[in-house]
Structure 1
């Protein structure tokens, strides 16, 4: 009888251990369950949380790449139910007339800015970076003004501008092709001298050189910044935007000179990838935001739930926005738990 009880106890312990290992990445004792996807058919998701109200404003690529819209909700799970508001539409011709990609929303000096990429309908992949501005306290209100092109040191394929502050300075990271066009895009960094312009020096902080970064296309893009402890982290996405799309990680010490290329370190392996068993294909182009408790870190990203595309990576609209809890290891690095569902 004792042997039987011991065996049952052992099996119970093993079962509990197995269940713990397979637990959902979003398992939490303090947060409401996250109802993924949080928004359907919105790639390149970017989420802003108002610190006073706790409410969220969501922005992402519209599936037809022809307009920019915002939506708001005070609960993460209500974003998919929120009524989107179109705040800008593409031009009929010339710059900003096609391929409206990856808009991001930032509040800078009391005004709202949206950075986005767009092409010319006569040359659809002449992608460049642009900005909109709104002086309203609420980005869903007021008028959005075109602020023109956000230029860099090169006149080449460029996209995915993001902005962050560190030690009193504002920086921009963006993706751009080099002058010899030996790759599709690398990530570049510069200090900003206004919300829509940068200044020298300009450095590359990562180029697509690793095997997992050059599948289909040689791409480093979609940067997102999060600071934790004594490090500043940059996630990015690489390769073609099908099931081979994956996320990588850069970091620098918080006291380092961010404009010194030697300050930046790069993880050799991807940190978040396709997992067919979990129905996750081509995850990437993420942002970071606090959960409803104002404390827990969330990663907002897109992925498809199948491998075989319905058309091309651009015409298949089913990249859905998802949220997952990010934890931190004993060395202060983010834990993405790619083997776990959300």
Structure 2
């Protein structure tokens, strides 16, 4: 393989694609989606390898509405396969209230999600007894399975005045409805989670040797953006906040020597050899022109995840 066709770790991999999500299907096919700079559509890429995802043609599988719900700020799509059906979870606002961000679901029953028909399932539904979920600014939903149960993890703002973005978890009843009421997993407790805004968002889950590692992103979307982590035993009650241990310090942050600024909103996958891979976005410049949220230069990057002797992940860009 030519050097220019090899994976280059911790360097721009897919340009101007924030909130990157890679799903490796059971047949080995890789799918890629992300927020695009105009925040107006959902794209998918499909390839046989991580390298091929770079140049493969992108397919627009859904475009925002002209008005009403799902008509502005189409953010952070994720592709999941549940019970042999495809689902995309994403956040969106609306033109007359652009910050009325809520989580929505698309479903595809065809074999190929890039060519199949996608049906809108509407806003994610909370459990009947839940009076709080998705009533306020809610985004960055992810889904994971453990011990035969599916769980939904998302970020939602609470409070009055300067609102705080927390992480919540609930068990799922269906791919578009929750079975249980929300449980608070994490709040921005530490100084590194409070730069610019008090934020926990962008959760992602990785299983390894009986443990669940839940990474998330903190602080505003500039160079202070960074990643924290929670850890739980897979045999514990995942709806009990005490089952999760939160790291005191970020597990991955800006590295000026590597020109990596504001790394975050990651997902996990495996390469063709079975190695764990972290997919994340970051900037290569320290000084951001304009509002960081609308500056397009957050690029998808990849990192080979390492493990220490205790079975804990090491996020090293050296």
1:299 aligns with 2:278: yes
Change (3 A) 1:185 1:151: farther
Distance, in Å, in 2 between the alignment partners of 1:209 and 1:182 is: 15
* Bigger shift: residues 165-174 or 142-151: 142-151
In 1: Cα distance, 2:306 partner to 2:26 partner: 21
Rounded to whole Å, the distance in 2 between the matches of 1:78 and 1:100 is: 25
Q: How far apart, CA to CA, are the structure 2 residues paired with 1:243 and 1:59?
A: 23
Task: Report the CA distance between 1:274 and its aligned residue.
Answer: 0.4
Displacement of 1:32 in angstroms is: 5.1
- Aligned partner of 1:314 in structure 2 is 293
Please report how far the alpha carbon of residue 75 of structure 1 lies from its aligned counterpart in structure 2 after TM superposition. 2.1
- Whether the 8 Å CA contact 2:6–2:51 is kept in 1: the answer is no
User: In the alignment, what sits opposite 1:39?
Assistant: 14
1:74 corresponds in structure 2 to: 48
Q: Give 3-state SS (helix, strand or coil) of 1:212's partner.
A: helix
145-154 vs 326-335, which moves further? 145-154
Are the aligned partners of 1:94 and 1:122 in contact in 2 as well (CA < 8 Å)? yes
CA apart distance, 1:44 = 0.3
Q: What SS does structure 1 have at the residue aligned with 2:182?
A: strand
Shift of 1:327: 1.2
Give the C-alpha shift of residue 182 in structure 1: 5.6
Correspondent of 2:26 among 23, 27, 51? 51
- Give the conservation status (yes or no) of the 8 Å contact 1:177–1:185: yes
2:168 and 2:184 in contact (8 A); partners too: yes
Residue 226 of structure 1 is aligned with which of 174, 193, 206? Answer: 206
Match of 1:125 in 2: 99
- Counterpart CA distance in 2 for 1:104 and 1:132 is 10
User: Are 2:85 and 2:109, in contact at CA under 8 Å, matched by a contact in 1?
Assistant: yes
Mean alpha-carbon deviation: is it higher for 176-185 or for 200-209? 176-185
- Which entry has the higher C-alpha Rg, 1 or 2? 1
TM-score by structure 1 length?
A: 0.87
For 2:70 and 2:309, locate their aligned partners in 1 and report how far apart those are by CA, in whole Å: 46
C-alpha deviation, 1:84, in angstroms: 0.4
Structure with a larger share of its residues in strand: 2
Q: What is the distance in 2 between the residues matched to 1:313 and 1:78? A: 29
Q: Could you tell me the TM-score, scaled by structure 2's length?
A: 0.93
Please give the root-mean-square deviation of Cα atoms over the aligned residues, in Å: 1.5
Indicate conservation of the 8 Å contact 2:33/2:45, yes or no. yes
Q: How many residues of Structure 1 are paired with residues of Structure 2 in the alignment? A: 307
Q: Which runs of 5+ in 2 are unaligned?
A: 127-131
Cα distance in 2 for partners of 1:112, 1:199 equals 20
Distance, in Å, in 1 between the alignment partners of 2:210 and 2:107 is 33
* Structure 1 residue 202, shift from structure 2 partner: 2.0
